[in-house]
Structure 1
Amino acid sequence: MEVCCDLGVDVNGEETFVVDKKIIGLYSGKLSKLFGKSKGTARSIKVVFHDFPGGAKCFELMSKFCYNSGRIEITPSNISHLHCAAQFMEMKSSVSGTHNLFEQTEKSIEEMSYWSWSELLITLKQCQVLLPASDSCGILERCLDSLVARLALTSDVSPCPSTSSPDSSGFRISCDTKSTESLKTVFSRATWWFEDLLVLNLVLVEMLIKSLVSRKFDHHILSRFLFYYHKSRFITVSSNEKCKFVEVVINMLYILDPNCVSCKSLFEILRVSLNLKIDKSCRSKLESMIGLQLDQASLDNLLVPSPYGMNCLYDVNLVLRFLKAFLLGGSRKISPVQLSKVASLMDLYIAEVAPDPCLKPSKFLALAMAVPDFARDSYDEIYRAMDMYLECQGIESSLSQVHSGLSDEEKMKLCCALNLEKLSAETCIHLSQNKKFPSKSAGQALISQQLKLKGLLHGTNNTKSNSDLLCRAQEVGKKIEKDEAEEQVVLYAGRLDLSDDNEDLRANLQGMQWRVMELEKICRKMQVQMAKIMKSKVPSNHHTRNLPRLCS
């Protein structure tokens, strides 16, 4: 066949090839149709391709096939290029019949199950360079199917060392089944493929995970791979792609069983994402996954700095969202042990954030009341944190001029978070003498403690320790009676105008004095009741009515 150069082909602006249009047209249906429609008489014509898969390299391979009478060596390193070129150039038929590139590559792809592991990876690497052409022509999907089948087959075993080398000619499975195998060895057998698949880009990893999930692959192993992939590849990703990278990893983790995803590793991804503007829905998925496993978190995990522009030290809103996700629980049932762990964790967190002078009372109250009352056996830790918070709120902060002190009304709202019945005797006594708390709370603490002493006396037959504690409570009660009356009268007498012309203010003062007298009556009544208890034996089957939660 006489060879001439009468066709110029511009491939994606990379390079222009001058070829014989008869030779190329013999194997390419696309060019044959183009030449048939051309009415020009010029000896030379030029064709421009803007989206040729694989660019100049791929066109050169295809040209070699044409100039070699429809023959070329097909290998794992070039099969994806040749297959995509054959699809693009419509090389599914030829004058010579059997010598068409598409059929030859199809035949090689059908033999993919006999390829070695390394050969399969080489083809996959080429496919990801050729996206989206490799996806549209089907070779990528078939490569992934073959990969997934092998991973499913060897999920509990690892290949022999030789299968990871380019010279391997087969895919072999280790048959070591010793029952004394260490956990480390078991783990390495389940994760042998992690390092090999780091060569895959994000698109292929997403397709791989979805395919493995559809085949019921072990979710524990998949989550470990995603964390490993994230940790290994994130530092190499460009700053413009980091958001997309994190979002894909989060979305893939979200489709797995939550119980198979490491809470600690989720917090690592959270730390990375704090400085990234990831999608809002994606961030919600991450927070939801963490919230469902909040009982496995530590205090250090929760101490996340507040977002830029916020005065608070820590991101309290984030922790509240974690709590909401935990309490909602999805389809799972929260056990008492899990709830108790979260309550203890929240007690530690509240104590840590309490000294922050910029923390608003509403946020402190939300933290203290977020966990159900029945989850706590004791409210002593909440009281200590509240005591610290009131002390810090009473000091004007150099960072913020918002809180120069809380009003009694604001303090009372905070005290609503305390269940007095779940305070220890010592804490109740401390509360009754704590001037940082509103006097009403101190009085209720005393009453609650006296009723608690009642119960103690029923069960212990008036022991000396209980008597001493009762005397101490009575002394405190007398002091509160006296101080309350004196302070309220002095306070209002100093603030109110008592002139004859101000009848409304006079009525206010009288009302306050009446309430002081009522408090005195209550305290005297309680002292009489306690004295009777000390003198008489109460039946053992007697039960006192439970006091309601404060402010309820």
Structure 2
Amino acid sequence: MKFMKIGTRPDTFYTEEAVRTLISDVPSDLSIQINNISYLLHKFSLFPRCGLLQRLCSDSDDSENVTIELHDIPGGEDAFELCAKFCYGITINLSAHNFVPAFCAAKFLRMTESVEKGNFILKLEAFFNSCILEGWKDSIVTLQTTAKLPEWSENLGIIRKCIDSIVEKILTPPAKVTWSYTYTRPGYNKKHHSVPKDWWTEDISDLDIDMFRCIMTALRTINILQPQLIGEALHLQFSLFPRCGLLQRLCSDSDDSENVTIELHDIPGGEDAFELCAKFCYGITINLSAHNFVPAFCAAKFLRMTESVEKGNFILKLEAFFNSCILEGWKDSIVTLQTTAKLPEWSENLGIIRKCIDSIVEKILTPPAKVTWSYTYTRPGYNKKHHSVPKDWWTEDISDLDIDMFRCIMTALRTINILQPQLIGEALHVYASRWLPDTTKVRAPESSVSRAEEFEEKNRRVLEIVVSLIPTDKGSVSAGFLMRLLSTANYLGVSPVTKTELLRKCSQQLEEATVEDILFPSQSSQLNQHFYDIDLVLSVLESFLVLCKRQTPASIESSQFLRSLRKVGKLIDSYLQVVARDVNMPVLKVVSLAEAVPDIAREDHDAIYKAINIYLKDHPDLNKAEKKRLCRILDCQKLSPEVRAHAVKNERLPLRTVVQLLFFEQERGSTTTTNNITNKLSFQELIPKGKQAPTPRNEQGKLKLGPDHEKPSGTTYGTKSTAAVSESGEKDNHKIVVKRSEGKVPVELERKSGRGEIEEMDAEKGRDTGKLESRRMNSKGSRSDPGRDKGRER
């Protein structure tokens, strides 16, 4: 191939988005628009050489900044850029590949000698005559490129001149052939053989049928060549027919035996697949791989390239490659299975999908010690050189498949029932992490329009299939993974069936979860919306409690059941301490979740007190009623001594709560309160505190002491005392005398109140509660019954 270099300056064009600009100190005063590309150039370089631009600029009203649209320039932006570089003196390399678009564009821009001497058209014509037409393969390549600009090439005489040059060289005696040519007949060697008479037949077979016909017509018109040479060329052009049964049948149905036009618009794999089959027929080298096997095989089946048509045909070669190479390889099987997505029906009918899945499943079931093929495993800390093959070596590679192929493989593995459920769960975890959105990073869109419905539906389908594939064995997947799936399901808006199933699975493993696992982000787009989705956590907790109530009495009375309850209670209280810092979190949501935890699930109320204190600290604008509602969930009797000592001095707590604390602190000084909880649980104890029936009262508002409300024997008080004091604290017309000297609270409690998390709260001793020690709380009316009874005992 011959080249011609024009220009000496380096290429200084650069692209920024859809704008091509020349690096220059001179600002641009000319904008050329071609399709979607804008060129920012200069008049002084282009106008002296382009007659068309001169005329278009003279028609413009703005003489300073001119914008010209050249959407119909032959060759498009690439051809224009060659012309522009010539005008700027930038080096360009002309060849048979770019001559046609450059010549047509130069003619379009009128870069003639009448505009400026030594213009681009003169240079191009010199290159065409002295280089292209003098070369054999250059003439053929140039003739091939005219297919993109047939009318321009025909009108400018490029096609006629190339055909004349090719015919002239074909008629050259073989002894005078000095140029390079292609000749791949078996047994032929250029070094030891003279130039054969049909040396030219293979090169012209690269041309399309129209150009090939023009050359053959010219040769037959001249009538110099022997008929068998023309027949050899025709055999190469039509070598598809002996190998393609479909083309033979279609050609036999045609009335015109010389010129046949066949339409194959429905060939599987399109033009790329057909070209592979055509190259095989011509004996041209093709490289088969897992990436192009499926379209090639389907196209060969479509063209009926079978052994009954000709021995050693394409289908036989492809089947041998499939069985000996693809199915024997791990990643080749996966890649081939991926490519079947473009031709699903053909691949299914030809058995490609089934054979690939069988091959993949067989390799997954291979013992890790016998795995010798390459695989992808990117877990942190893993090194193939220093570690043996892990059991889940296969999980990352199959995550490249689409959800349908992935489901087929996972279903096959579960049917065989050899792998551990944890390995199935790990594969689901890897796949979900690969394809599902991360709800901790994805925020809800501002409008439904901004979210692509197709993408959302695809993710919904992936999640629903992943959930359906989770093994029923408890512990096959982690609690954290289940919680993330639930958060994603809430974000995507999956079907109620899928969400209910996820809630059930999450509740079964709720005791294994951590606070980080249940920190679901809120998906609402409203302003001032709280960050955490506390309602979703409440749904999981309620589902957990439903499962608890379905347990047998023997299971409920077991210590393991109580431990599970306590773990969940501790988890929820720790969660509340985090969400309490959310400045937009409504108090009722915190209360609802806190009250949903059964009393038996909390061994003490230290953690819930900490959550309440954090909420009060980060929400200073709460009104009195909201503070009372929040603190109502606190059981003062279940606070540890040091936490109770801190709470007494906590200025954020409402007065009623402080009164309760002082009451129990004073009571504790004279009697020992027992709060031990037995291991024997009843169904009633699983009902959350906030959902129990209200305590019955008489007409005067006094508490009725029925069998469940009678005062315990001795001086021991249960949690009902808290409710009694709460009632008394709300009555303004009742009288309470609280006497408490400064030394009433032990010094030991004063020291402990400054420890740990409690330190961040107020440690000031001169608090209003100190004033309460020397004051009397006057109120009218009657005191609640347990409070009155205690007063009588004193």
CA change 1:481–1:218 in 2 (3 A) is closer
Structure 2 CA distance for aligned equivalents of residues 265 and 355 of structure 1: 25
CA change 1:453–1:100 in 2 (3 A) is farther
Match of 1:221 in 2: 423
Match of 1:368 in 2: 594
**Which sits farther off after the overlay, 337-346 or 113-122?**
113-122
Conserved 8 A contact 2:459-2:492: no
Cα deviation, 1:144-197, whole Å, max 9, x if unaligned, reads: 21111121122x43523xx339xxxxxxxxxxxxxxxxxx946x4313334555
Match of 2:410 in 1: 209
* Paired residue type of 2:536: L
Structure 1 CA distance for aligned equivalents of residues 614 and 289 of structure 2: 72
Report the count of equivalent residues: 443
**Which sits farther off after the overlay, 43-52 or 340-349?**
43-52
Match of 2:608 in 1: 382
2:475 aligned counterpart, secondary structure? helix
CA change 1:34–1:328 in 2 (3 A) is farther
Conserved 8 A contact 1:481-1:523: no
Determine whether 1:58 maps to 2:288: no
Q: Which has the higher contact order (CA 8 A, sep 6+)?
A: 1
Structure 2 CA distance for aligned equivalents of residues 293 and 432 of structure 1: 38
* Partner of residue 540 from structure 2, selected from 316, 322, 329: 322
Match of 1:251 in 2: 465
Conserved 8 A contact 2:656-2:729: no
Shift of 1:347: 0.8
Shift of 1:367: 0.8
Match of 2:115 in 1: none
Structure 1 CA distance for aligned equivalents of residues 531 and 564 of structure 2: 27
CA change 1:315–1:138 in 2 (3 A) is same
Structure 1 CA distance for aligned equivalents of residues 238 and 674 of structure 2: 110
CA change 1:428–1:73 in 2 (3 A) is closer
Shift of 1:261: 1.7
Conserved 8 A contact 1:28-1:94: no
Match of 2:308 in 1: 94
Conserved 8 A contact 1:24-1:63: yes
* Paired residue type of 1:371: V
Match of 1:341 in 2: 567
1:260 aligned counterpart, secondary structure? coil
**Which sits farther off after the overlay, 259-268 or 280-289?**
280-289
* Partner of residue 514 from structure 2, selected from 276, 298, 308: 298
Conserved 8 A contact 2:464-2:494: no
Shift of 1:344: 0.4
Shift of 1:369: 1.9
Structure 2 CA distance for aligned equivalents of residues 457 and 267 of structure 1: 38
Conserved 8 A contact 2:659-2:729: no
* Partner of residue 790 from structure 2, selected from 504, 507, 526: 526
* Partner of residue 351 from structure 1, selected from 536, 556, 577: 577
**Which sits farther off after the overlay, 141-150 or 249-258?**
249-258
Structure 1 CA distance for aligned equivalents of residues 735 and 791 of structure 2: 22
Determine whether 1:516 maps to 2:728: no
Alignment of 1:418-429 (within 5 A): 418=634, 422-423=638-639
Conserved 8 A contact 1:59-1:85: yes
* Partner of residue 148 from structure 1, selected from 342, 357, 361: 361
Cα deviation, 1:360-414, whole Å, max 9, x if unaligned, reads: 2331221112222222222343244345545766x43xxxxxxx5143xx66655
Query: Normalized against structure 2, the TM-score is what?
Result: 0.44
* Paired residue type of 1:364: V
Shift of 1:57: 3.1
2:423 aligned counterpart, secondary structure? helix
2:271 aligned counterpart, secondary structure? helix
Give the unaligned 5+ runs of structure 1. 10-17, 166-183, 397-403, 460-465, 489-514, 532-552
CA change 1:214–1:485 in 2 (3 A) is same
Structure 1 CA distance for aligned equivalents of residues 731 and 337 of structure 2: 83
* Partner of residue 192 from structure 1, selected from 382, 393, 409: 393
Shift of 1:125: 5.6
Cα deviation, 1:204-252, whole Å, max 9, x if unaligned, reads: 43433333233323332233344445656889xxx97975468526732
1:377 aligned counterpart, secondary structure? coil
Query: Normalized against structure 1, the TM-score is what?
Result: 0.60
Structure 2 CA distance for aligned equivalents of residues 62 and 386 of structure 1: 75
Match of 2:298 in 1: 84
* Paired residue type of 2:391: A
Structure 2 CA distance for aligned equivalents of residues 149 and 457 of structure 1: 64
Conserved 8 A contact 1:8-1:19: no
Determine whether 1:157 maps to 2:375: no
CA change 1:91–1:482 in 2 (3 A) is closer
Cα deviation, 1:100-147, whole Å, max 9, x if unaligned, reads: 655665566566798344554564465456555433422122112111
CA change 1:123–1:251 in 2 (3 A) is closer
Structure 2 CA distance for aligned equivalents of residues 433 and 325 of structure 1: 38
Conserved 8 A contact 1:380-1:427: yes
Shift of 1:341: 1.5
Match of 1:135 in 2: 348
CA change 1:52–1:454 in 2 (3 A) is farther
Structure 1 CA distance for aligned equivalents of residues 337 and 511 of structure 2: 41
In terms of fraction of residues, the more helix-rich structure is: 1
Cα deviation, 1:54-83, whole Å, max 9, x if unaligned, reads: 333321232345556xx9998767643442
Structure 2 CA distance for aligned equivalents of residues 296 and 212 of structure 1: 27
Shift of 1:434: 8.2
Bigger-Rg structure (1/2): 2
* Paired residue type of 1:83: F
Conserved 8 A contact 1:8-1:47: no
CA change 1:60–1:368 in 2 (3 A) is same
Conserved 8 A contact 2:479-2:513: yes
CA change 1:108–1:314 in 2 (3 A) is closer
Give the unaligned 5+ runs of structure 2. 1-200, 211-233, 376-385, 438-450, 677-713, 737-778
Alignment of 1:222-301 (within 5 A): 222-228=424-430, 243=456, 244=458, 248=462, 251-252=465-466, 254-257=468-471, 259-265=475-481, 277=492, 279=494, 290-301=506-517
Structure 2 CA distance for aligned equivalents of residues 75 and 189 of structure 1: 28
Match of 2:189 in 1: none
Structure 1 CA distance for aligned equivalents of residues 582 and 436 of structure 2: 34
